[in-house]
Amino acid sequence: MRTPSRVRGVLATLAVATIAGCASVPNVDLDKRASVRSVTVLAVAEPGIVPVVNLGGPTGMFGLVGGLVQAGLNDQHSRAYTDLVKGRAVTFAPLLEDGVIATLEAAGYRVARSDQKPSLQSDNRTADYSGIKVGTDAIVHVWFTAFGYVSPPAKMNFQPWVAVRVRVLESASKKDLYFKTFVCGYEPRIEGAVAIPVDAQYEYESYDKLAERLDHSVAGLRECEQSIVATVARDVKPR
């Protein structure tokens, strides 16, 4: 069976992020001088696939052939785990979206929701918010950039890897008022990212153990989401 393009794209992103090493992301603290009293939170997209990827499995030690075998296993495990999650009707986006909204409301903001989405600029990578129209002072965009389980090159166990970007823009000017990337669990070398640890109980010695303890491994991903929301809460806490 050929690897679906979505799976190939996710696995390629994981590999590039790891190999690239010292990538960098924006790290903009909240501008509390801005006159923002109301915000619109854009809907958080549900992850289409929950990858389970071994970045340095034993087959990888045997050159190109071994690498191809490992890539096939990563694809197989990612699709199988995603099917298990979807079979239980498990969703992840609502927990993150509701958590961010509750955090903003607790900080004193009036919060609205919107299903609008940013488009992409000509480079097909940079978000374009010019088409988003809201009646609030700011726009809040939250999205997953990584979501699943990874066995890093220097470690045998699978552990969560949840990366979330949180961006707050002034509605009129589209100026960034806050922009951070949070990485929970596996921590690749990304300059500017905020690293958040996850409990070691959510590590699994093999894919089979990860799949057998489905509820437990799902809880590990959700704990990462909640830890990210808690970190955002500290950032937006009123002075």
Q: For the segment 113-167, what is each residue's pLDDT rounded down to a tens digit?
A: 999 999 988 887 889 999 999 999 999 999 999 999 999 887 889 999 999 999 9
Does 41 or 31 have the greater pLDDT score? 41
Average pLDDT over residues 170-196: 94
**E strands within the chain?**
23-24, 38-42, 52-54, 110-114, 119-120, 127-128, 138-151, 159-170, 176-185, 190-191, 194-196
Q: Cα–Cα distances in Å, from 212 out to 53, 81, 91, 218?
A: 16, 10, 19, 11
In the chain the first and final C-alpha atoms are separated, in Å, by 56
Rg (CA), the chain: 19
The overall pTM is greater than 0.85: yes
Q: Is 21 left (phi over 0), alpha (psi -120 to 50) or beta?
A: left
Residue 62: per-residue pLDDT: 39
Question: Would you tell me the crossing angle of helices 63-87 and 5-20 to the nearest 10 degrees?
Answer: 120
pLDDT at 17 over 60: no
Nearest to 182 by CA among 140, 144, 208: 144
What are the structural domain ranges in the chain?
5-236
Look over the chain and give the mean of its residue pLDDT values, rounded to a whole number.
Answer: 87
Q: Which amino acid is at 235?
A: D
Q: Which residues pair with 164 in a beta bridge?
A: 144, 182
Query: CA 86, 92, 93, 98 torsion: positive or negative?
Result: positive
